[in-house]
Amino acid sequence: MNKPVVPLTYEQLDQWVESLQPLLVEENFACVVGILRGGAPLALMVSHATGAGVAFLRYTRETREVRWDSTLPMPEPGAKVLVCEDIAGRGHTLVDCIAFLREHGLQVRTLTGAYDDLSRLRPDYSIDASGYFALFPWERQAYTDRYRADWVREGTSEGARMADDHEYAVYAIDLDGILLPDIPLARYDEDLDGALAERDALVPFERIPDIDLKHARAIITGRPELDRERTQAWLDRHGFGHLELVMRAPGEHDESVQGAATHKAAAAVRCGVTHFIESDPVQAIFIAQRAPLLRVIWWNAQARSGTLIGASAWG
């Protein structure tokens, strides 16, 4: 997991499958077979693109057992099927599933979201992620500390099991506009010392975003690093001192909207969180662009409501 990450969104994968549509239709597959669970989204995309029926295989990593897990009957021997998986990795999943289908007399072609330099085989259709770690939207939690610890434990301890995906949710939150009111920027220009003293005297909002703070790891703020001492004092005073405080380094990111958003996106990825709550809607859009698999929520403190943000380039 020390490789640079290539995030692949649902939209990117859908467009990639659509670009393959003429070739996939020409193959005339009897059905598309997704390996549960990572191969299921791709199998459904291919099914919609080609009109072929969709079926599934269930693979047990510990025993390397493959089972047909579908209401559709297995195609007759000699039929051609397309097996879909998210990654052609160094493990045995894809190899074992191909062998299972060939043992039943089927012609097998393969499609994976990505392959890399550790892959046991190169699929017929795949995105080259050699030298990178391909991260899929259904495994956005893979970079949290708890997920990685459980993954190692499951692979080395008998009886150890992964938790459900949603249990790995980890939050980071913005500070101003989330825990306390924003001071208008003009106030800082008019009287910096007075504005800072006014900010220090503010009390937290009566209602903050409806998350359990035990699932929050960090406060990621656009405040500059030189404000750390007084910011930490405010957090300690109001019961938020247990959260890691990540502040902007002016030499790396300026105080502009895009500079602050770039800082927050990079810090959220570095902290290994799955969700980030931001008070400024424009910054939320930029953060979503820069960290496409991060769940970015714009929190409107006045309306006391949150909006999930997605941002893709257009034009």
Query: CATH number, domain at 187?
Result: 3.40.50
- Which domain CATH number covers 88? 3.40.50.2020
> In terms of Cα–Cα distance, which of 109, 50, 101, 43 is closest to 76?
101
Whether residue 173 is found in the same domain as residue 268: yes
**Containing domain of residue 199, as a range?**
169-309
In a shared domain, residues 10 and 123: yes
In a domain, 11, yes or no: yes
Give yes or no: residues 14 and 123 share one domain: yes
Q: What is the pLDDT of residue 132?
A: 86
- Same-domain pairing of 15 and 120: yes
How many structural domains does the chain have?
Answer: 2
- Structural domain contains residue 22: yes
Question: Does residue 180 share a domain with residue 109?
Answer: no
pLDDT at 1: 53
**What pLDDT, on a 0 to 100 scale, did the predictor assign at position 176?**
95
pLDDT along the chain (315 residues), means of 10: 80 94 96 95 96 95 92 95 93 94 97 91 93 86 76 66 81 94 87 90 86 82 95 95 95 94 95 93 95 93 89 72
Rounded Cα distance between 256 and 259, Å, is 5
Q: Are residues 112 and 197 in the same domain?
A: no
Q: Are residues 216 and 276 in the same domain?
A: yes
Does any domain span residue 153?
no
Same domain, 130 and 233: no
Is 141 within the bounds of a domain? Answer: no
Residue 123 shares a structural domain with residue 175? no
Residue 175 shares a structural domain with residue 304: yes
Phi-psi region of 287 (alpha: psi -120 to 50; beta: other; left: phi over 0): alpha
pLDDT of residue 56: 97
Residue 258 within any structural domain of the chain? yes
Q: Are residues 186 and 288 in the same domain?
A: yes
- The Cα–Cα gap between 220 and 247 comes to 6
For 24, the token pair is 């996939």
